């Protein structure tokens, strides 16, 4: 079966950055399952997989504009330490969930002193060119429930 809009696609993948370092891989766990055309994954990867078949392997290079976006320096801000629930052990590299209206996103601590913590709201992969090594394990029709939820259930998908 061919990858097309609203098909469930199951992939094995390894993601490396331009320096060749492995950022993420399904090899440590189970393949990832998503629904094509539902914004489950980044557009650059989704577009490259469109029309491919189960068993196909491909290398995909995704530019930031088709991946996690360009870095935006205005998303870096200094916040008073009192804003954090934990006062102890705030360290560079730690990640927190921050709410911005009804939107929750992840911020990364990039600097911390006695009074203030500098957090970066950019996605950790923003501004990076992403190199995917992908093998399509399976392509199938979604269940009615999966289409209603907009994501895949079971192995490689949502467990709920
Ligand atoms: Zn669900």
Q: Supply the DSSP string of 83-119, one letter for each residue.
A: GSS--S---TT-EEEEEETTEEEEEEEEEE-SSEEEE
Q: For the whole model, what pTM was predicted? A: 0.81
**Segment 36-61, tens digit of pLDDT:** 999 999 999 999 999 999 999 999 99
pLDDT of residue 83: 82
- Ligand 1 centre to CA of 16 (Å) is 29
| pLDDT bucket at 5, cuts 50 / 70 / 90 | very high
pLDDT at position 87 over 80: no
- Ligand 1 centre to CA of 147 (Å) is 9
**Segment 130-140, tens digit of pLDDT:** 999 999 999 99
- Ligand 1 centre to CA of 102 (Å) is 20
| pLDDT bucket at 90, cuts 50 / 70 / 90 | confident
What average pLDDT does this structure show over 61-65? 97
Note residues around ion ligand 1 (Cβ under 5 angstroms).
149, 158
- Ligand 1 centre to CA of 89 (Å) is 36
Show the domains of the chain with their CATH numbers: 8-68+125-144 (3.10.50.40), 73-120 (2.40.10.330)
- Ligand 1 centre to CA of 159 (Å) is 8
Alpha-carbon distance values, 61 to 45, 65, 99, 101 (Å)? 8, 12, 32, 34
- Ligand 1 centre to CA of 155 (Å) is 12
């Amino acid at each position: 079966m061919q990858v097309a809009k609203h098909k469930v696609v199951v992939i094995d993948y390894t993601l490396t950055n331009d320096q060749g370092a492995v950022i993420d891989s399904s090899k440590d766990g189970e393949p990832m399952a998503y629904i094509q055309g539902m914004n489950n994954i980044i557009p650059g990867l989704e577009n490259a997989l469109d029309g491919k078949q189960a068993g196909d392997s491909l290398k995909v290079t995704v530019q930031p504009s088709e991946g996690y976006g360009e870095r935006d320096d205005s998303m870096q801000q200094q916040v008073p330490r009192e804003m954090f629930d934990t006062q102890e052990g705030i360290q560079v590299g730690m990640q927190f969930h921050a709410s911005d209206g009804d939107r929750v996103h992840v911020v990364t601590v990039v600097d911390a002193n006695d009074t203030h913590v500098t957090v970066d709201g950019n996605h950790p992969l923003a501004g990076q060119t992403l190199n995917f090594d992908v093998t399509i394990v399976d392509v199938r029709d979604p269940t009615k429930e999966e289409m209603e939820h907009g994501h895949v259930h079971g192995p490689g998908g949502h467990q709920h």
